[in-house]
Every structure is written in C-alpha cells, then in structure tokens.
Amino acid sequence: MSRRLTRTGIASTALAILCTASAAAQGREGTEYFAIRGSSGLPFAEAVRVGNMLYLSGQLGTDSTLKLVPGGIKPETRQALENIRAVLERHGSSLDRVVKCTAMLADMHEWAAMNEVYVTFFPTHLPARSAFGTTGLALNARMELECMATVGT
C-alpha cells in the first residue's frame, strides 16, 4: 500500500510540475509588450499585459511634446493621471480598474498637494498605493506615478 501511495505521490508531484511549467510557458507567450506611441526610442514599454493585468510604466506630468507641464506638483499630477488614463484606455482598461499605484515624489513635503489632485481621479474607489521620496526624477519632475490595472472581462 505504501508503495502505491508513493507512486501516486510521485505521479501527482510530476503532474503538478508539468502543469506549473505549462502555465509559466503560457504566461510568457501570452505576455504583450506595448511600445510607446510614436516610438520615441525610450528603453521601456508604456505597458505590459500579463493575463488580465496591465502594468504601466511610470508617467510624468508631460504634455504631447514630452515637456513637463508648468506649475509644479498639482498640474504635473493632473497631467500624469491624464496620461495614465490614455494608456489604460488604449489597452482596454480604465481608471476605475486601477488596483495599485506607486507615487514617487521629488519632495515628500508635496505629498498632500499631490493627493488633492490624485483623489479626484478615483471617485468610486481608491487603489492600494505606496509613496516614497526620491533624490531626483527624470526631466526634474516633481512626481512620477505608476499603476497596475485589470483588463478584459
């Protein structure tokens, strides 16, 4: 009897390993990398879809010419979230499907001002979020925001 259980256990373990390997292979094959519109030559994708999750690269408060909007943390936050909205919608998601954000601020003293704008973009729910201060951001931005959202059915 113990020999049978051992064989069954080994067979079950082997099957589990094969299923895990198969799922991992499907995940790689099912991963979609979305280039930045206009192929600006930046060394990252604007978003990556894995299954029903969409992972966005960090967004700064830049306009269509990739220049920071003037006015500091509040206008930059507003523009970054508009940029996020556009990326989400291009790839089949929306702000109401955002589940997690990470905020990076050049000055943590501006956290409250950033939050004043941030909360207006999430009227029905507030995603989980982390925030931290940095020693500098690209383009001397005041903030950068990255998000993860669900996509599909």
pTM of the model: 0.80
Per-residue pLDDT of 30-46, as tens digits, reads: 899 999 877 667 889 99
- For 29-33, 49-53, 115-119, 135-139, which range has the lowest pLDDT when averaged over its residues? 29-33
Alpha carbon of residue 22 to chain centroid: 25
Domain residue limits, the chain: 1-30, 32-150
The CATH class of 32-150 is alpha beta
Query: Residue 146 carries which side chain, given as an amino acid letter?
Result: E
The per-residue pLDDT for 41 is 78
Q: What is the mean pLDDT of residues 62-75?
A: 96
Bigger pLDDT: 52 or 19? 52
Which of helix, strand or coil describes residue 150? strand
pLDDT for the residue 11: 40
Is the model's pLDDT at 148 over the cut of 80?
Answer: yes
**Where on the phi/psi map is residue 36: left (φ > 0), alpha (ψ -120 to 50), or beta?**
beta
Beta carbons within 10 angstroms of residue 19's beta carbon: 10
Which alpha helices (DSSP H) does the chain contain, by range?
2-29, 73-90, 111-118
Tell me what pLDDT residue 39 has: 61
Residue pair 76/105 in contact (Cβ under 8 Å)? The answer is: no
Q: How confident is the model at residue 4 (pLDDT cuts 50, 70, 90)?
A: very low
Give the pLDDT band (50/70/90) at residue 152. confident
Question: How do beta strands 128-133 and 47-50 pair?
Answer: unpaired
**Per-residue confidence band for 128, with pLDDT thresholds at 50, 70 and 90:** very high
Distance CA 118, CA 2 (A): 61
For residue 14, pLDDT beyond 90: no
What is the model's pLDDT at position 40?
Answer: 66
**Closest to 149 in 3D by CA, of 76, 49, 75, 77:** 49
For residue 62, the 8-state DSSP code is B
Strand-pair category, 98-105 with 53-56: unpaired
Query: Most confidently modeled of 24-38, 39-53, 68-82?
Result: 68-82
